[in-house]
Amino acid sequence: MSIYLDHTASARPTPAVLATYGRQLAEVYANPSSPHQAGRAAEKALLDARGRIAKSLGCVPAALILTSGGSESINMALKGCLLRPARLPRRLLISQGEHAAAWETAAWLETQGCAVERLPLTRSGVVDPDAFAAALSEPAGLISLILVNNETGAINDVAGMVALRDKLSPRTPIHLDAVQAWGKIPLGFDASGVDLMSGSGHKLGAPKGIGWLLRQPRCRLDPLVHGGGQQNGWRAGTENPPLAAALALALEEACVGLEPLARTARELSERLLAELDAAGTRYTILSPPVRAWPILAIAFAGLRGETLVSALSAESIYIASGSACSSRRSKGNRVLAAMGYDAETVLGAVRISFALSNTTDEIREAARAINTAWHRLARP
């Protein structure tokens, strides 16, 4: 039996989600835009799913734009805001903690004439509030920040940032990359006060290939994908009722599981650390003390993250490495470096991520494997 501790990379769908998806694939195959009865049945299934999805996300269905996933949603938010003819300047504020989906899109936007400011992180991995306030002294076309960092679980202070924006630059919209937030922390779009929010289905147990961008009506945005006018012209492309239904169910399960997950993940992560301590394994916790509990970033002294990932993989225990290195250039981890960690620590980083399905026995087994590997392979 394998032990899966990489839910942040992709979560495992529950049997109920798979059953819904499989059934709808077989039954709801018509195009929801077709006027015949089969098409209308598909449309009805889609509308039903959209309603449920919106409810779980804390917004009205009209705010929901279904996309192919997180990267598309983030691309749409950034490009859709900044490339349209607008009264606001083409200035984008992001942080050094962004996922590549926003980071690389911002870099591309720079080549298109946009100014990009990359705000520094504190040691806890969140946006430095002073730098944020200072950056708002000039008008900007968009603020785009990651809500829960995918590497560390650090949570940016949305309420604080919305308040600052309202005070200093009320017309600048805020986009949150909330891909790792949904299903890990309590969250509602309307209540958040932000203008745009992205998410991805497979991070919380839906199949891959579906994500969303939520948009408040006040936020002006251009579509990214043009075509047949689906989703009121916001995102062209034949809609996918089975995927939407699977997402609706996965989101509902995630909402119900939110509190138990936080409790379980915290317990499991404490159990893991206790087992490491008992064996004398030396490590540094890179995640901040308060975080989205399912994500634990940790660096082992004198042992490369990649080496540990391989060693555990050989025992069918799956975690993620915090940085990718290659023989001649060590590609560090941009986010951990921005938090002020030295190259040696960053090389040793791994990410362990928990789900409700993980058990104490699994964590004990994973800790045993880590301890064995560390004592054999590490030279601190």
Partner 1 sequence: MPDLQHDTVILARLGEITLKGLNRGKFERRLIENISRRLRRIGSFSVVQAQSRVWIEARDNQQDLEAALGHVVSVFGVVSASPVWRFRGDLDMLLAQAVAFARTQVDPARVQSFKVESRRGNKQFPLTSPEISSRVGEAIMVALSDRLRVDVHQPDFTVYVEVRDTICLYARVVQGPRGLPVGTGGHGLLLLSGGIDSPVAGYMMASRGMELDAVYFHAFPYTSDRAREKVLALADILTAYTGRLTVHIVNFTDIQIILRDHCPPDMLTIVTRRMMMRIAARLAEKVRAKVLVTGESLGQVASQTLEALLTTDTVVAMPVFRPLIGLDKNDTVDLARRIGTFETSILPYEDCCTVFVAKHPKTHPSLADAVQAEEGLDIEGLVGQAMTLIEEVAL
Where does this chain bind partner 1 (CB under 8 A)? 304, 306-311, 313-314, 324-328, 373, 376-377, 379
329: amino acid identity, one letter: R
| 152 versus 321: smaller Cβ distance to partner 1 | 321
149: left (phi over 0), alpha (psi -120 to 50) or beta: beta
325 part of the active site = yes
- Distance CA(204)–CA(14), nearest Å, equals 10
CB 380, min distance to partner 1, A: 13
CB 379, min distance to partner 1, A: 7
| 134 versus 343: smaller Cβ distance to partner 1 | 343
φ, ψ of residue 121 in degrees (nearest 5): -105, 155
Answer whether 326's CB lies under 8 Å from 11's CB: no
| 313 versus 360: smaller Cβ distance to partner 1 | 313
Listed in sequence order, the DSSP H helices in the chain are 15-27, 37-57, 70-82, 100-111, 129-135, 158-168, 189-192, 241-279, 305-313, 334-338, 343-347, 360-377
| 310 versus 359: smaller Cβ distance to partner 1 | 310
| 221 versus 308: smaller Cβ distance to partner 1 | 308
| 87 versus 331: smaller Cβ distance to partner 1 | 331
For residue 92, the surrounding DSSP H or E stretch is strand 91-95
CB 283, min distance to partner 1, A: 17
> What are the structure tokens assigned to 100, written together?
């590549």
φ, ψ of residue 279 in degrees (nearest 5): -90, 0
Q: Which residue has the tokens 């042992």?
A: 303
Q: Which residues pair with 198 in a beta bridge?
A: 177, 213
CB 328, min distance to partner 1, A: 7
Beta strand 196-200 pairing with 211-215: antiparallel
Q: Which residues pair with 64 in a beta bridge?
A: 214
Q: Which residue has the tokens 């560090």?
A: 332
| 137 versus 327: smaller Cβ distance to partner 1 | 327
- Distance CA(82)–CA(18), nearest Å, equals 38
Q: Specify the DSSP class assigned to residue 231.
A: G
Task: Calculate the CA 326 to chain-centre distance.
Answer: 26
CB 100, min distance to partner 1, A: 16
- Largest Cα–Cα distance of the chain, in whole Å? 68
3-class secondary structure, 4: strand
Answer whether 344's CB lies under 8 Å from 144's CB: no
CB 4, min distance to partner 1, A: 18
161: amino acid identity, one letter: M
Q: Which residues are catalytic?
A: 325
